[in-house]
Amino acid sequence: MQEQGHKLTDEQWERIRPLLPPPAQTGRPRADDRKVLNGILYVLRTGCAWE
């Protein structure tokens, strides 16, 4: 079983990163964008329940 199949490669991430807005200057720290996107891709690719 391939466990890493849902994770973005460095090349993919470098192409996506410029499309995301910069972190806000105020408020609580933002979650890591790459980890969040990898989580979304995992749910979409595996069909597991989103809770």
For every residue of 8-22, DSSP letters joined together read PPHHHHHHHGGGSPP
Task: Name 20's Cβ contacts closer than 8 Å, sequence gap at least 6.
Answer: 33
Report the domain count for the chain.
Answer: 1
Structural domain boundaries enclosing 41: 10-46
For residue 4, pLDDT over 70 is answered with no
Residue 28 within any structural domain of the chain: yes
pLDDT at 18: 97
- Which stretches of 1-51 are DSSP H helices? 10-16, 33-46
pLDDT, average across residues 5-28: 93
Q: Global pTM?
A: 0.77
- Residue 32 in this model has a pLDDT that exceeds 70: yes
**C-alpha–C-alpha distance, residues 15 and 19, integer Å:** 8
Within-domain flag for 51: no
Pick from 43, 44, 20, 42: nearest CA to 32: 20
